[in-house]
Amino acid sequence: MNTSKIALALAASLYGLCAFAQGGPTDPQIAGIVVTANSIDVQAGKLAKSRTKNKEVAKFAQQMITDHTAVNKQAGALAKKLHLKPADSDTSKSLKAGAADNMKNLKGLKGAAFDKAYVDHEVAYHQAVLDAIDKVLIPNAQNAELKDLIVKVRPAIAAHLDHAKMVQADLAKK
Amino acid sequence: MLRGALVAICLALLPAAALAAGKTHAVRIEGMKFVPERLEVAAGDTVIWTNRDLVPHTVTASGARVESGVLAPNRSFRFVAKKKGEMPYICRLHPVMKGVVVVK
């Protein structure tokens, strides 16, 4: 599967959140989606950091590891405080499946091809997560503190998207 | 007489001591931004940055050799403005985040 196909499948899985439209995900499911989405990007970042030779890609990957780990720490603490057990949903499952495809694809690549595939995926991923935050997670979160956490995460995701696009444009020049 | 003179000296020194301590200004780090992004202070004033974000940040002004180190959520960094002029700074972890302290 090539990168654009993966990105498309990923977008579809996150847009698939709209399948919840009538019922909407529950708070435990939202917590599960938040934790899964963060963990996935930490894993991809770790692979990228170990594989890339590009300084900017390495810096971006480190930022993903640092930030998404920090967000998950806070999300975990809040879930514990609220006695909210993160639950699986079709969305968290399809996110995991998409991540497995992405990792498999990335593991087969090296050098510039790896950098491009990783960064392209990060752009698509953060865009999809941002859309999910706006259209599904914030509107459906019932608990005020859970909603507040997602509202507070949003600027970080938006900044990551800008940063990923910057690196993408840089790679395209080479 | 001597006591009176001491009191007079202390009273004379008090305003000077208060001035030297200066004012304290707070900058919040929130939503991947420094708030306010531009802060005007007087020489001798103290600036305290507090990270109210979910992710770690830094206050880094390489020109002025100011480096907070990594600030975890809810951690603060204190800095006393001494040199007059503009001190632009960034978050080393998120270089898109920029701020400036203007020391007058």
Q: What is the pLDDT of residues A46-77, one digit of tens each?
A: 999 999 999 999 999 999 999 999 999 999 99
Least confident of A14-23, A150-159, A162-171: A14-23
What residues of A are in contact with residue B54 (Cβ under 8 Å)? 70-71, 74, 149, 152-153, 156
Subunit contact B94:A162, Cβ cutoff 8 A: no
Which of A63, A71, A153 has its CB closest to that of B94? A63
Subunit contact B31:A71, Cβ cutoff 8 A: no
Q: What is the DSSP code string of chain A?
A: --HHHHHHHHHHHHHGGGGGTTT---HHHHHHHHHHHHHHHHHHHHHHHHH---HHHHHHHHHHHHHHHHHHHHHHHHHHHTT------HHHHHHHHHHHHHHHHHHT--HHHHHHHHHHHHHHHHHHHHHHIIIIIHHH--SHHHHHHHHHHHHHHHHHHHHHHHHHHHHHH-
Angstrom distances, CA of residue A115 to CA of A77, A106, A152, A164, A165: 34, 9, 29, 11, 13
Span B93-101, average pLDDT: 92
Chain A's closest residue to B52, CA to CA, is A152
Note the pTM of the prediction, 2 decimals: 0.81
Predicted pLDDT of residue B64: 87
A130 pLDDT exceeds 80? yes
